Amino acid sequence: MKEISLSDLAGSKTSADLATGGTTNSMIEEAAQDSSPAAQLAKLPEADRARVEQMANSLDLTRDGIESSYGKDVQRATSTFADDILSRTRSKDVGEAGELLQGLLVTVDEAELGAVKRIPIIGTVAVNINKLRRRYEKVSTQIDDIIGKLERSQTQLVSDISLFNTMYDRNAEQYRELKITVLAGKKALDDFNANQLPKLEAEAQASGDPMQAQVLSDFKSKLERFAKRLDDLDRVSVICLQTAPQIKIIQNADQMVCDKIDTTISTTIPVWKSQMVIALGLENQRQALDLQKKTDDVTNKLLERNARALHQGAVDAEKANQRSVVDIETLEKVNAELISTLKETVQIQQEGKANRAAAETKMRQLESDLKTALIENAQSLGR
């Protein structure tokens, strides 16, 4: 980084810079206690460390607007990709696949119940067989229609899974770029504060010129805003880090639904249709049986089916009744989030109060120093 003087700073000032007073570095120092830039830099791969060094060395802290424009290209890339994802998913019905699966189960279930209800105890078997066959044919058409919709939904899910892979990779790259950008800015700022800022302070003190002191104060304010910009970018990188597992959770859920559709189409439906054919064959076979034998057989089968249905219904109902309306894990998460919110709110209020007190003390000191300097100057002129 090139050496600069107070004259360089005065030449690069803007009206916005001159209108802003100096503030304390307490928040930056507090954040630095968690993890220093040097420690984070040491964890990076060699190529990334070289990029950080190169960016830090080429960074010009005197450039106009650097405190608001630094890292903007990285943020813009994130916004562009997010807009692209939203435009591709805005019109998609995310619940369609689940509704189709539910509709398929209801269709099959109603068909089977209808078959049970229509098994004759006494009467003409042929008439009921024909009715049962027509009902199965109608249901089969409905199932084929649902399967077609499921296959289209499965294709969409596969596309979404691929999209989430791309999104995950882009998010990981975004996180890496943000980290490099933040570390480069912190390194440049730390190097400047350690090496050049003391020289500028000494130069301003030696000059005895209040305007030179004002120039230095304005530049310190600029450095403070740049540090705030780095903190904002660092927070965005944390959001990127949190986004990664969220993407994978959604992707895994889509994969599970996709697998379920595949199982339904390739296994469940063929088995059901096979059972339908078997049921029709058994009904045809019963036509040759004696009425008494038919009645006994049908009665036994009806009792067995009802027993199984009763057993399954009782088990399912008890499972549903035993499950709580709200899981304990959900209550724990909500409670933890609430506690965290209260703690962070109190902490922010305390930090704000401390910052205001420190700023007030600093301003009083600045007023006192300026008054003393003006009195001494007046006394010197009076002599």
- pLDDT at res. 115: 40
Is position 178 within any domain?
yes
Rounded CA gap, 68 and 89, in Å? 32
Instruction: Let me know: does 225 contact 68? Beta carbons within 8 Å.
Output: yes
Residues 281 and 350 in one domain: no
Same-domain pairing of 230 and 281:
yes
Whether residues 20 and 81 fall in one domain = yes
Whether 212 maps to a domain, the answer reads yes
Burial of 11 (0-12, 13-18, 19+ CB in 10 A): exposed
Q: Enter the DSSP assignment of 200.
A: H
Helices (H), the chain: 6-11, 15-18, 26-32, 37-42, 46-58, 66-69, 72-89, 96-117, 125-195, 197-207, 210-263, 269-286, 291-322, 328-382
Which of 271, 288, 305 terminates a domain? The answer is 288
Cα 54 from chain centre: 31
**Hey, what's the torsion of the CAs at 271, 276, 277, 280, to 10 degrees?**
160
Q: In this structure, are residues 223 and 193 in contact, taking their beta carbons and an 8 Å threshold?
A: yes
- Closest by CA to 170, choosing from 236, 82, 68, 284, is 82
349 and 218, same structural domain? Answer: no
Strand, coil or helix: 93: coil
| Spatial CA neighbour of 59 closest among 241, 239, 243, 186 | 186
Shared-domain flag, residues 284 and 350: no
Which of 2-16, 262-276, 303-317 is the least confident region? 2-16
Contact yes or no for 98/157 (Cβ under 8 A): no
| 210 belongs to a structural domain | yes
Q: State which of 270, 288, 306 marks the end of a domain.
A: 288
Please tell me the pTM assigned to this model. 0.52
pLDDT value at residue 270: 81
Q: Identify whether residues 350 and 223 lie together within a single domain.
A: no
Residues 225 and 113 grouped into a single domain: yes
Distance between CA 25 and CA 222 in Å, rounded? 12
Kindly state whether residues 251 and 112 are assigned to the same domain: yes
Q: What is the pLDDT of residue 131?
A: 66
**CA-based max dimension of the chain:** 138
Report the 10 Å Cβ neighbour count for 153: 20
Same domain? For 83 and 215 the reply is yes
> Do residues 61 and 148 both lie within one domain?
yes
Write the CB contacts of 207 (distance below 8 Å, at least 6 apart in sequence): 6
- Counting residues of the chain whose pLDDT is more than 90, the rounded percentage is 6
Residue 298 maps to a domain? no
Structure confidence by residue, pLDDT tens digits, 12-49: 544 333 333 333 333 233 333 446 677 777 788 888 88
Question: What pLDDT does 347 receive?
Answer: 92
CA 342 – CA 320 distance, rounded (Å): 36
Residue 186 belongs to what domain range?
Answer: 6-288
Q: Which amino acid is at 65?
A: G
Q: How far apart are the first and last CA of the chain?
A: 45
Which among 183, 95, 101, 79 is positioned nearest to 150, based on CA atoms? 101
Do 47 and 125 lie in one domain? The reply is: yes
Domain count, the chain: 2
What is the pLDDT, as a whole number, of residue 339?
Answer: 92
Is 43 part of any domain?
Answer: yes
Q: What is the pLDDT of residues 247-302, one digit of tens each?
A: 888 888 888 888 888 887 888 778 777 777 777 777 667 666 666 677 787 889 98
| pLDDT for the residue numbered 35 | 61
Q: Would you say residue 228 has pLDDT above 90?
A: yes
Mean pLDDT of 51-77: 83
Domain annotation covers residue 312: no
Residues 67 and 150 both lie in one domain: yes
- CA separation for the pair 206, 203 (Å, rounded): 5
Residue with tokens 């209800």: 117
End residue of a domain, out of 232, 258, 288: 288
**What is the CB-side half-sphere exposure of residue 348 using CA atoms within 13 A?**
6
When the pLDDT of each residue in the chain is averaged and rounded to a whole number, the result is 75
> Does 213 map to a domain?
yes
DSSP 63: S
Residue 317 inside a domain? The answer is no
pLDDT band at 224 (very low <50, low <70, confident <90, very high): very high
Band the pLDDT of 124: cuts 50, 70, 90.
very low
Residue 126 has pLDDT above 60, yes or no: no
